[in-house]
């Protein structure tokens, strides 16, 4: 298996995302209704991110398109991506998405998973020097404020292997802070990561759970790798996973089995294999022990191989898995 992103594979991912970011139904809403006037029609409420089954998947579908457009400027789908973005990222539509956050019932809307993915999209547009980055900025700024408001209130991190996972959000938000030069956000993320995870030792890795798409252990290590100085991370990691050279805990080295890809929750486990591949690669890049690096990169390849063929097929996986495959390839 080729473990690098090729133009053919990028084309495949782009076609998948173009096929669902404007597919309005089926749709799963994160929407609180306080009366009849709050009736929900996806396109009316979210004029940009109404497709892809749910708001956050639509956001990272756009991120996928922005990233492959930047990495492969001669992609056959470039013109279709440009036309999509021109129609989507208008000041009026961005303001409608931002104004939705003013509703009293939206304090927890997409927290923190969707917040972090919106910042990843903003990051990608900035890296591409896209004019759409400035248009999207008011929405990105709104989610940065939400991180500043929420993280100090979060006494304990959420360690679940699903959308609420705190460490995953830190990894994505850290990329935004680095690219945007947002030192205040970066400082907040570092301080909270140290406070939540700095004393963790000898992770047992009782995973996966039945609908995980994130590894709690590897996401925590990825967050610390992204946020700590290199020497501090390496010292922390040596205590956090002290038996990694022996491929222990074995649970994180064993790709997950997916029994029913038409079940949206069980299909999460394909995402777990892809996100583990991404995390293994990120951690390997942050340590300086060649033997351990080789073990981690081998684990990444095996997890990627287990899931890469499943990014298209049943819509329960197809509406989001390609984004996680692209993370595994490009970090």
Taking 50 as the pLDDT cut, the residues of the chain under it are none
pLDDT (tens digit per residue) in 221-251? 999 999 999 999 999 999 999 999 999 999 9
Q: What pLDDT is attached to residue 193?
A: 98
DSSP annotation of 202: S
Q: What pLDDT is attached to residue 3?
A: 75
Tokens representing 272 are 């777990």
**Torsion angle of alpha carbons 180, 186, 188, 189, nearest 10°?**
110
Residue 11 CA: distances (Å) to CA of 17, 179, 183, 241, 274: 10, 26, 35, 37, 18
Count Cα neighbours of 196 within 13 Å in the Cβ-side half-sphere: 24
Tokens representing 300 are 């990444």
**Three-state DSSP class for residue 232:** helix
pLDDT (tens digit per residue) in 138-183? 999 999 999 999 999 999 999 999 999 999 999 999 999 999 999 9
Q: What pLDDT is attached to residue 156?
A: 98
Q: Which residue carries 């997916």 as its tokens?
A: 258
């Amino acid at each position: 298996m080729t473990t690098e992103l090729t133009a053919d594979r990028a084309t495949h991912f782009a076609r998948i995302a173009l096929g669902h970011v404007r597919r309005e139904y089926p749709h799963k809403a994160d929407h609180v209704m306080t009366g009849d006037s709050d009736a929900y029609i996806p396109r009316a409420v979210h004029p940009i991110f109404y497709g892809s089954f749910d708001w956050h998947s639509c956001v990272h579908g756009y991120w996928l398109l922005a990233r492959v457009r930047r990495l492969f400027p001669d992609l056959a789908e470039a013109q279709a991506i440009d036309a999509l973005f021109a129609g989507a990222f208008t000041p009026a539509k961005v303001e409608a998405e931002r104004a939705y956050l003013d509703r009293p019932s939206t304090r927890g809307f997409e927290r923190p998973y969707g917040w972090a993915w919106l910042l990843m999209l903003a990051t990608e547009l900035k890296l591409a020097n896209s004019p759409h980055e400035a248009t999207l900025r008011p929405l990105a700024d709104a989610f940065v404020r939400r991180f500043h408001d929420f993280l100090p209130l979060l006494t304990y991190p959420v360690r679940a292997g699903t959308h609420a996972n705190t460490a995953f959000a830190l990894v994505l938000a850290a990329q935004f802070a680095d690219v945007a030069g947002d030192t205040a956000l970066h400082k907040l993320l570092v301080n909270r990561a140290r406070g939540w995870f700095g004393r963790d030792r000898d992770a047992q890795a009782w995973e996966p759970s039945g609908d995980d798409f994130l590894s709690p252990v590897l996401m925590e290590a990825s967050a610390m790798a992204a946020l700590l100085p290199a020497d501090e991370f390496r010292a922390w990691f040596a205590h956090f996973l002290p038996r990694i050279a022996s491929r222990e805990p074995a649970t994180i080295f064993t790709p997950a089995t997916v029994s029913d890809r038409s079940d949206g929750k069980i299909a999460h486990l394909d995402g777990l294999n892809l996100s583990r591949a991404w995390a293994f690669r990120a951690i390997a890049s942050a340590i300086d022990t060649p033997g351990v690096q080789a073990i981690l990169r081998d684990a990444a390849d095996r997890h990627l191989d287990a899931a890469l063929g499943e990014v298209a097929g049943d819509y329960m996986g197809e509406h989001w898995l390609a984004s996680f495959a692209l993370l595994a390839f490009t970090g």
